[in-house]
Amino acid sequence: MRNVIPVLTVVLAIVVLWYGASVQLNKQWALDQAARQDRVLSTAELVADTWSQAKPKLPAPHQVAVELWETVAQKAVTSKRSLVYHAWVTLSATLLGFALGTAFGFLLALGIVYLRVMDMSVMPWVIASQTIPILAVAPMIIVVLNAVGVSGLLPKAMISMYLSFFPVVVGMVKGLRSPSTMQLDQMRTWSATRRQEFLRLRLPSSLPYLFASLKIAMAASLVGAIVGELPTGAVAGLGARLLAGSYYGQTVQIWSALIMAAAVAAAAVGLIGVIQRVTLKRMGLN
């Protein structure tokens, strides 16, 4: 809790900087407008104008807050203009991709830990697969899957899955191998079967690693879902809001979508954090 004051100071500093920057960036347009109307703006008028433009280069924080309030609280959730609706579209793809990616990553990790061939042949490619800018492949995956007849949630979820399986594989391989030789020997002296060894020793000791990976995977799959929405012609979702906003110069809309994405990410990752704390506490690990 002793971090509260420094964090608040930093956040406050960011808000102040933001206001200052929005004056700087929007100044030119305001001055041009005034010059065209043969007016001279006083400093107070200039500042007031830069903070209330309809299409500013950088909207002031309160403009974004107003837009957020209007699109989140004052629109029906089912309305296409409601940000909650768009956030839900993105979140559902994220969650599906996250679940698929976690399951796939878990299975791969099992294979890598128990089969030497897989360890030697698959592991280097798993790592190589992440040095490829996966998001670059995203539009193609979407278009191709659309051509095959798969559309809607699944293509986006596939991209999320591609991004989220990697942290799970790496974390789980590390976690499943974390029991020491001594612990493994102890299991053997109890003549434990491989199944028991897995369920009673390897799986429990891998959980701290799993949770750490799940947080990264969740953040990654949200990015995947957002980028996955870009090439589909932007129908619904936070990525679509970003794209539409950038086409029509609606900066306030872009920023509110960004803040919404940040909130969704924070909530999802935070939820995993809570589950992690409760689980590890009950296991006596924390």
Q: In this chain, which of 73, 76, 120, 199 binds another protein, going by CB under 8 A?
A: 120
Determine, following the binding rule CB under 8 A, whether residue 149 of this chain makes contact with another protein: no
Determine, following the binding rule CB under 8 A, whether residue 184 of this chain makes contact with another protein: no
Site for another protein in 150-169 (CB under 8 A): none
Q: In this chain, which of 48, 199, 266, 275 binds another protein, going by CB under 8 A?
A: 266
Between 202 and 215, CB nearer to another protein? 215
Determine, following the binding rule CB under 8 A, whether residue 261 of this chain makes contact with another protein: yes
CA 171/CA 168 separation, integer angstroms: 5
Task: Show contacts of 19-24: CB within 8 Å, 24+ apart.
Answer: 19/51, 19/60, 19/61, 21/58, 22/50, 22/51, 22/56, 22/57, 22/58, 22/59, 22/60, 23/47, 23/50, 23/51
Q: CB of 187 within 8 A of CB of 196?
A: yes
- Which stretch in 36-44, 64-72, 201-209, 216-224 sits in contact with another protein by CB under 8 A? 216-224
The minimum distance between CB 269 and another protein, in angstroms, equals 6
The minimum distance between CB 158 and another protein, in angstroms, equals 14
Q: CB of 72 within 8 A of CB of 83?
A: yes
- The residue whose two tokens read 């956040």 is 11
The minimum distance between CB 135 and another protein, in angstroms, equals 5
Closest CA to 94 of 254, 214, 196: 214
Determine, following the binding rule CB under 8 A, whether residue 236 of this chain makes contact with another protein: no
The minimum distance between CB 215 and another protein, in angstroms, equals 7
Q: In this chain, which of 157, 227, 240, 252 binds another protein, going by CB under 8 A?
A: 227
Q: CB of 63 within 8 A of CB of 19?
A: no
Helix %, strand %, coil % for the chain, to 5?
80, 0, 20
Determine, following the binding rule CB under 8 A, whether residue 180 of this chain makes contact with another protein: no
CA 228/CA 47 separation, integer angstroms: 38
The per-residue DSSP string of 55-116 comes to S-SS--HHHHHHHHHHHHTSS-TTSTT-HHHHHHHHHHHHHHHHHHHHHHHHHHHHHHHH-H
Q: In this chain, which of 83, 170, 230, 240 binds another protein, going by CB under 8 A?
A: 230
- The residue whose two tokens read 């990790």 is 109
CA 50/CA 24 separation, integer angstroms: 8
Q: In this chain, which of 7, 40, 44, 182 binds another protein, going by CB under 8 A?
A: 7
Determine, following the binding rule CB under 8 A, whether residue 219 of this chain makes contact with another protein: yes
Determine, following the binding rule CB under 8 A, whether residue 189 of this chain makes contact with another protein: no
Determine, following the binding rule CB under 8 A, whether residue 243 of this chain makes contact with another protein: yes
Binding residues for another protein, per CB under 8 A?
A: 2-3, 5-11, 14, 25, 57-58, 116-117, 119-125, 128, 130-137, 139-140, 143-144, 147-148, 215, 219, 222-223, 226-227, 230-231, 238-239, 242-243, 245-246, 249, 251, 254-255, 257-258, 261-262, 265-266, 269
